[in-house]
Structure 1
Amino acid sequence: MTSKRIVPSQTMHRTIALNRNENPPKSGRFSTLKFWEIAPFFKCPVVGICLTLSEQRQVLKKAGVSPKGRSPFEIHELLVGCSDNENRVSKQVDRLLNRKFRAEITPLLELNEKVFIGQWASYFHGGTFVGAFWAASIKPDLSAEARGRIFGDVHMSMHGNVEQDARFKRQLALYGEEAAKMREKAREATRSRKTLQKENAKLQKNQENLLNRLASDKKEMVSMTETLASVKAAAGTEELEREIERLGEDLVDLMETIKVKDTRLADFERKNRQLSAALVKQKDANVSLQNDVEMLIQGAFRGDRCDDTCPSYNLCQKRVLMVGGITKMASLYRQMIETRNGIFEYHDGYMKNGAKNLEHRVRRADMVLCPINCNSHAACALVKKLGKKHKKPVRLLPSSSLNAIGEAISGKRDIYASDN
């Protein structure tokens, strides 16, 4: 945090010493300067870069100065202001920095100026220059030219960090908005899943009632059949014949009733299967949305995210066709592709309108993405076939998440690539 602060204007005037060719006094071959003896233009960046905010507070506490109620800028200015002479604060700063960077600065202080500048360039471009910067500040035998070069590197780096920090905050705000939208979609999916579960439980209860009634009707039919058989065996009188005829009509009515109930039971079972399948699909979509929310938030804080400086970032107006996936996430797919200077096209993967439309889109695409977890086997097979036919690269993704799509278009994952 402190390494990104711009050098305050009141201390920037101290860089006038760069033009005076003044070298600090030497006190021996490997002796070092104290914090209050280093070049004035080094003092502000040394405090801002070499000490973290917690270490700055620690210095003030040990020197008997309370940091409570002081802003980071006020603490910084206080430490810089105490660097003009030897005092409790400046001695604490000197002691802490020498102890913190002892292992790094010891070999550097023994180098001559030419070798030291070469090592400084290596550390600076590698981003590990904090210890080397302290060594340069207290090394008494560096020329004014060498000190000016080192100060210039650090000064311009601090300007660049401010711009980078602003860009990161803009991206973080965008990620936060997208994450909020996806969390709301996840909550909607959860509500839908609970509604489906309640309806499914109600259908199961109705099915159980129908099965019980059907079993009761079948028992009654068996009883009536046995009664009819006994009546037929008992006597052949006219009254008995009429009774038999009546029982036969009742039996036909009962069989019709059972047939109607069997039809209703089959309808309930079919609807129950459809709702169960929809519930499973909704659960999968909910899990995928939740995973995307977590990866989106984590990506906002990773230092290795892909941006416009990455070689794999720019799609150079390539047309990317997405077949299948979660339809509600199509806008997020489009944003990812178009942000990387690509042209996005989407096909939901359903073949109800025939394969001609899909083939036309594959033929004019530069790359085809096909998540296997949100497509039928027939759709995946057709995409691979059309890719081979028209010599188009096809990526079969293990999931329809934004992370899987990002890795596919950047070339980081290719294990499901179709052979074209």
Structure 2
Amino acid sequence: MQRKTLNDNAEFACPIVGTCLTIAELRRICRKFGDAVPEAASDYEAHVFLVGQAKITASPASKYLQKYLDKKYRKELRMFWKTEDEAELRRLWRERADAGDVPGPFWALMSHPTATNELLRDVYGEVHMLSHRVGAANRADLAKLSRLEDKLAETAAALEDSKLVLRQAVSVWKTRCRQAMEELAAERTKRQAAERERISLREAIENSAVAAVRRDRDILRDQLMELADRLQTTEAEAGRQALLLERMHADLTKTRQELADRDSEVAALEASLFAALGEAAAAHAAHAEHHIDDPDGLGDHHDQPHACTGDCPCPAGGCRRDPAAAGSSLHLVGGGLAGKRVLYVGGRSSLVSHYKVLAEKFGCELIHHDGGREQSSHRLWELLGCADAVVCPVDCVSHEACSLVKQACKGCLKPLILARSSGLSSLARSLAELGAPAQ
């Protein structure tokens, strides 16, 4: 619904401007539009100018006044906007008017989109009569002001009489103060004599207490010497502790340096191991590619173990299938990992990129699930559905994920290897076991 504007309420522009704006606001708004209203103009002339501008459609003054009233009375606008019922609007108006709040509710009703003409005229009539009552009250206030001025003159005369009496009282007070100062001087003399007597008594008491003070001094001196000895012992112990801390700090620095050296050696060894594993993976891939069954000769070699020819690229110059692995569910169908997807559940997140590179060297694609640390079990089910085999390191995976993987692989008859550790060498052994050709 579109709210009513000042142009829509042109017939009520006079009471809107006169009721919803103070004289200071009226003057300030008129000054924004140049010399249309001179500074020497009366409040009535400024009111007439702004009312006339409010009736002009799309005039700058009308637009500015509309925005100014909406901003000034936004609280009342929100209150009245919540209802469209005429009875409820009357109730809100009556409640706010009885509380003495007229300008905001008056503007909210005049701009309300569903307010009827009858309601607007009733409210306008109340505001109009209220202005008459205010005028009558002002005239009564003027008469009262005249009476108060007469009373003020009488009060001023009485005040002058009171001042005269007060001057006389001040004179009497000064005489009494002078007498009091004389009495105070006599009292001060008596007090000085008493102070001298008090000092004499204090000296006598101090002389009688000298022996007791000396005894206390000797006791305190002995205690001070004892404390000095204890302080010296404590400082020596603190020195020994500081020396011990320095030695421990030196040992810690040395240990950290040795640990850094060991870390460097471990990194170098891991790099060497990674390179060796890559060569082994390449050899396994070449071996699997060499032993792909010929589609035309499946019947001839189905029941016989395969033996390498002289051209076999195996590292040992020939290959054999492990008889103990024949028929094991840990081997992929068809042998080899080329083109397969291996799901790695758990492990260390810092090694995921190395896991994937190692799997590429075995000719397969590795997909990873963190075992429940951040990824959900629903995501694990999705990855299990598209994986050909699963590797799960038991040292770095949650019990929930491990149990879920076991159940899923058992139900889907997918190869599952539970690796002892999450290191690269353990993953390489698992991939080699999965890629070993079945006998």
Normalising by structure 1, we get a TM-score of 0.39
Structure ID, larger Rg:
2
